[in-house]
Structure 1
Amino acid sequence: MTTSDPPFPPLKPRDPTSVGRYRTVGRLGAGGMGVVYAGRAPSGSLVAIKLVHGDLATDPEFRARFRREADLVGRVVGPCVPRFLDRDTEADLPWLATEYVSGPTLHQHVREHGPLSGDSLHAFALGVAEALRAIHAAGIVHRDLKPGNVILAPDGPKVLDFGIARAVDETAITRTGGLFGTPGWVAPELLRGAPPSPAADVFAWGGLVAFAATGRAPFGKGSAETMAVRVLDGKPDLEGVPQHLAPLVRAATGQDPNRRPTVEQALAELLGTDQATVVGAGPEATELVTRVLRAGWEAPPPPTVFTGDPLPRTEPKRGRPWLLTGAAIGALALVAAGAWAAGDRLSKDPVEDPGGGAAAAGTEEGRNEEATDPEATGSDERVLVEVAGNGLFMVHADTSGALDVTPGFAGVGLGLPQGVARDEYVVASVRVNTVSADSATQTGVRVFGEVEYLADEGEFTLRAGDLTLLEVGQGLDPLPDDPTADGRGAHTADPGRVLATVSPDSPDSEFEVDFPDAPQSGLLAYLPAADALGGEARVGGVYTCYMNWHPYPPVDMTDEEFVPCPAERPQ
């Protein structure tokens, strides 16, 4: 057996070199729960290791839920789910390990090669249904079935991220009343407040098969609010779904959960057998599924791997229409924010504040208008950021002036002008999370996340200097119109450090940056550099509240209202 490692995105300097008995060899992803590493077992086989963030590891309630969910995941067995291998739920940082599954996600494959068809599409629908049968049989509801959570492996589709998401979800719901899932894939009854159920997973399964068949999300793309309205309207776009699958997909995406087919009914129809054959996870049903997969599944090409090194900057084409060409990352809840100007670019001479960060100047004399004034730059390009969901920033740009960007703050409100469609000028999405920079001492703040490029040409750069952490506390407005105008402490990082550069050729990238002196609660402000898109532009940014004791920071801000940030953890 060879032990040469595939080209995984590299480990970060502070990543562990081992977890339990496994040697880490690369990063597979990161999110609100923790980091997923590629590892090597002592035998040489590849594994996937999910390591919990330190913030969550200190929460006894989360540990208990993680322990219970790990027990459930260990009981899920089937040809279309990764095999459970190992765990340590009592470690300082709890973890679990499953077999490593190679291949692109459905999202990656459709983006790079187009939709599935023929026998492969039928095998995909069957395999995902079989995975849900195994997951439901173990007492788990997946709750976040979507194109990014299905791997197209050489031997068939594999459904990822079941069970562990439930642990995070239940903690969040207990504390905040939040909704877990990705807009466009969340069943309508969940949007109306019903508890998760197997029928909600069937709804997502129907949308997933439609996406695999057409390359289009069944409820389109747009803001969280827009997606929710479309789901509640109950009119999925199923044009292009093959005739033999269309009735089943249409029934699965129906509004009434009681009238959707069960997973067993879907499996029976796809296998051309009776429902009794697939009930109870018997070996006969597994053999039938394996036989169909072996006969109809065609191994997809491997995914394009971006190792994390920024691309060389090139001069983008000018006069481009910034049109949405990819599916925007989903948000958990619609929130709103205004435009802001903060950090080093606001002051020609930053001064140190007692809190250890540069105090942000809020006067007109302190603002660097040269970076954002089109008369100074000779450019009419406008770049505007809005908060589209929990920890999700959407970057919009245009040259027509429709966005009507005012450099600096426009107050707390919707980022886009009235009448401007949210997906009309979208360029990129930036999803952020925060944890303690030092999990052992619970000090400092690490901001990390993912950037996705959504336009059809050009490129977008995220720099460390685009992010500023602003302090909150006594005497400071908890929801200021301009958080830079009252002398509050501002914590910044190296402004020139490139965190990620994305383009149509390499549209996805992860990033992280530490703010060692920042408090565990504050305002996370994001203002792109004037040249983030390659040329000078007027820019407007946003801020959100982050609280590192919250189960899913940055804080979910619902109903277009900000949640004030406390200076200390509430008792």
Structure 2
Amino acid sequence: MFPLEQSDPASIGRYRLAARLGSGGMGTVYLGRTPGGRPAAIKVVKSGIQDQPGALSRFQREVETLRTVRNPFTAALIDFEVTQPPFWMATEYVPGPTLAEAVKQHGPLEPDLLRGLFAALAEGLEDVHAHRVLHRDIKPANIILSVTGPQLIDFGIARTEDQPGLTELGMTIGTPGYLAPEVIIDQQLGPAADIFALGATMAYAGTGRPPYGKGSVHTINTRCIEGAIDLEGLPQDIAELVEDCVSRDLSRRPLPEQIVERCRARTALLEHVGYQRIISGSGAQERRPEPASDQEPELETVQVGSVPNVPATVLAGKPLSRKRSRITLAIAAAAALALTAGAVAVYGLDRQPDKNPTTQPTASSSPSPEPENATLTVPGGGCLSVPETLASGDIPTVQVCDGSPAQQWEFTPTGEIKALERCLDVAPGERGNGTGVQLWDCNGTEAQVFARHGNQTQHLSSGRCLTTEANEAEPGAQVFLWDCSGDNLNQEFPLPGL
């Protein structure tokens, strides 16, 4: 939770704003209070994209979905405004960690707690499907562990079964590692795809590892299609249930009520000592040792600013600074109103899969062996420039090339791109489309590792490429991440010295 900024409104509708809960490409989420003092999470659409039909349609769809689905397993919609700007909606303010945060802090869930959570989430999904709504983005970051039980959150890309999609040709909405094969291959949507995502999520909860490993979007999607899920360490009954949930054969995937029946947890979830420990935030467990191949940094799952499937030309605004995003958001509402769902380009399915999918690319294979200072030219002929303040969290911008030290970048053998001893950096989170690029003290973490990707520059841990809003970036334009397409002029960022 962060203080309000000078540019923030004092109130929205009848709600007086008290603090910021999160910010990103789509807008800002605030903690607000009714005149009577009831807290609520207020999601406000950014003014820069309020006139974009695609973005507004998704926001309106989210409101309609939350109006449709009202049950103990979702944060209830309280109020909204979608007819005139500013567009906003208010939902219940529900404190609690996400499942992703809980596993990071406490380690993999013990078997009986895992069974109880599996059953509870399946029951919630059964109710969602009974309303003919498809969630479409079930993952650890979209599950809140609250004092009243787990909740499915972030219905930003949910839709009813008869609604037309808003995706573009060649694009699909979701998160790598939790997308069902039929969604990746031909965007075939249905309740079975949610079951796949639930199974993959429970694999993560029980192992503490990404269900289909780490790597590029293409690599992870290939593993999902081939069925190469990581179930090592799971009890046999849970492993078999997860395996059925993620089966390529849709008829083999169990219905939610069948999942509940097969889990047979011995202890009520809310009474389980492990669940009580998680929601109280105490007693972190010692993690099980992992194989050497899994020692690279985990994919973080708290979203900080992705824009689903919106053309780059509609993006605007300053990305969330690491000054804020390094603080773990234990407030569930920030996740419950996750600003948008990530748009993942399903590109390269006709490419040959990695010969060794467990081996991840390293930055050392791409950079020049000897560091070299050079300008980092951007689409349109400008140069990426360091601001005068040169503070961690500042945003590099496009400026007219002048050869100054502020535009002299070094691409190091370890994959860093730095100028004046500050490195290009991507704030923690899911790093979806629209995530902004900032400057930070060079620290050698995966947030600062880039590599050559044809004539583009790729951020390795996210698999996305540096991008500008337009093919000819104007002075002052910012840089963000977007799916590497190979043919977009606004992604032509040749690395310094290459």
Instruction: Specify the TM-score bucket, using the shorter chain as the normaliser.
Output: 0.5 to 0.7
Distance in 2 of aligned mates of 1:559 and 1:485: 30
1:39-95, Cα deviation, whole Å (9 max, x unpaired):
222332321222222233213454355334422311212222112211111230222
Larger-Rg structure? 1
Q: 294, 298, 304: which one pairs with 1:326?
A: 298
Q: Secondary structure at the match of 2:243?
A: helix
Where in structure 2 are there 5+ consecutive unaligned residues?
283-293, 309-342, 346-359, 378-390, 408-418, 458-465, 472-478, 493-498
Distance in 1 of aligned mates of 2:451 and 2:236: 47
Contact 2:363-2:450 at 8 Å conserved across structures: no
Distance in 2 of aligned mates of 1:31 and 1:227: 25
The amino acid that maps onto 1:86 is D
Contact 2:103-2:208 at 8 Å conserved across structures: yes
The amino acid that maps onto 1:193 is D
Residue of structure 2 equivalent to 1:562: 488
User: How far apart are residue 565 of structure 1 and its match?
Assistant: 7.9
1:332-390, Cα deviation, whole Å (9 max, x unpaired):
99xxxxxxxxxxxxxxxxxxxxxxxxxxxxxxxxxxxxxxxxxxxxxxxxxxxxxx978
Distance in 1 of aligned mates of 2:435 and 2:154: 28
Q: Does 1:545 align with 2:471?
A: no
Q: 194, 204, 211: which one pairs with 1:201?
A: 194
User: How far apart are residue 396 of structure 1 and its match?
Assistant: 7.6
1:438-479, Cα deviation, whole Å (9 max, x unpaired):
xxxxxxxxxxxxxxxxxxxxxxx84425x22368xxxxxxxx
The amino acid that maps onto 2:467 is T
Q: 7, 31, 34: which one pairs with 1:14?
A: 7
User: How far apart are residue 26 of structure 1 and its match?
Assistant: 2.3
Residue of structure 2 equivalent to 1:188: 181
Q: Secondary structure at the match of 1:186?
A: coil
Residue of structure 1 equivalent to 2:81: 88
Q: Secondary structure at the match of 1:157?
A: strand
* TM score, norm. by length of structure 2: 0.63
User: How far apart are residue 183 of structure 1 and its match?
Assistant: 0.8
Residue of structure 1 equivalent to 2:443: 533
Residue of structure 2 equivalent to 1:42: 35
Residue of structure 1 equivalent to 2:398: 469
Q: Does 1:23 align with 2:23?
A: no
Residue of structure 2 equivalent to 1:407: 372
Distance in 2 of aligned mates of 1:534 and 1:232: 33
Residue of structure 1 equivalent to 2:114: 121
Q: 1:225 to 1:404 in 2, by over 3 A?
A: farther
Q: Secondary structure at the match of 2:90?
A: strand
Distance in 2 of aligned mates of 1:210 and 1:510: 18
The amino acid that maps onto 1:546 is E
User: How far apart are residue 103 of structure 1 and its match?
Assistant: 1.2
Percentage of identical aligned residues: 34
Residue of structure 1 equivalent to 2:93: 100
Summarize the alignment of residues 326-405 of structure 1 with structure 2, pairs less than 5 Å apart: 326-327=298-299, 404=369
Q: Secondary structure at the match of 2:133?
A: coil
The amino acid that maps onto 1:404 is P
The amino acid that maps onto 1:464 is D
Contact 1:105-1:147 at 8 Å conserved across structures: yes
Contact 1:464-1:496 at 8 Å conserved across structures: no
Summarize the alignment of residues 409-428 of structure 1 with structure 2, pairs less than 5 Å apart: none
Higher relative CO (Cα under 8 Å, sequence separation at least 6) belongs to: 2
Where in structure 1 are there 5+ consecutive unaligned residues?
1-7, 273-288, 305-321, 334-387, 413-460, 472-483, 512-522, 567-571
Q: Secondary structure at the match of 1:208?
A: helix
Distance in 1 of aligned mates of 2:189 and 2:171: 13
Contact 1:140-1:163 at 8 Å conserved across structures: no
Contact 2:394-2:439 at 8 Å conserved across structures: no
Contact 2:435-2:481 at 8 Å conserved across structures: no
User: How far apart are residue 176 of structure 1 and its match?
Assistant: 5.4
Residue of structure 2 equivalent to 1:248: 241
Q: 1:233 to 1:114 in 2, by over 3 A?
A: same
Contact 2:363-2:451 at 8 Å conserved across structures: no
Summarize the alignment of residues 455-534 of structure 1 with structure 2, pairs less than 5 Å apart: 462-464=392-394, 467-469=396-398, 508=428, 532-533=442-443
Distance in 1 of aligned mates of 2:36 and 2:156: 27
Aligned length: 377
CA root-mean-square deviation: 4.8
Q: 1:100 to 1:138 in 2, by over 3 A?
A: same
Contact 2:33-2:40 at 8 Å conserved across structures: yes
* TM score, norm. by length of structure 1: 0.55
